[in-house]
Structure 1
Amino acid sequence: MRQDVTQVTPVPPDPAGVAAIIQARLSELAGSGLRAVSLSLDFGPAWGSAQAGELEAWVDRRTRSLAFVRARLLASDGRMIAVGSGVFSLPAA
């Protein structure tokens, strides 16, 4: 199950800002009511030099209680700024 979504976004000058953009998009795709169980973020060669990027995000897989999502932020020349992934779960009853 793959849902591609692309949006152009300014790249914040600090790592925390990039992490916030990616985490917010991952959470949005995971769905309402799901909570992060695991989040991972890696920076690429365009980090620090790109002013804007294209944020692509998709759902890799979804079960009844888990969502596995990924996102990547690419510079206009295709170089990776950052890539993130997450596992989200329904809260315990």
Structure 2
Amino acid sequence: MTLRLKNCEIQFQREVDFHDNIIRFYGVKNDQRKEYMLVMEYADNGTFRKYLKENFENLTWNDKFNLAFQYHVYILNKGIMHRDLVNIL
């Protein structure tokens, strides 16, 4: 990941950091090769992508819609537009 993309990710994480359903962002660290790493809260149940992959058939369409709607409303209230949504607007 380039430094520019890291900066965008860091800015996004700072803006959405205070929500129960979003992993906490703690900071940035350089490793021995001088590569940057994001330090984030540990998710013991894996990623949201993994959760959806494993549970997609068990979720109703109403559940899926509500998850997407909650995410969308939260980031809009923060003044953020997801790049995939920008493409269809």
Q: Same fold (TM over 0.5)?
A: no
Q: Larger helix proportion, structure 1 or 2?
A: 2
Q: Which one has the largest radius of gyration?
A: 2
TM-score (norm 2): 0.22
TM-score (norm 1): 0.22
Q: Larger strand proportion, structure 1 or 2?
A: 1
Greater relative contact order (Cα < 8 A, sep 6+): 1
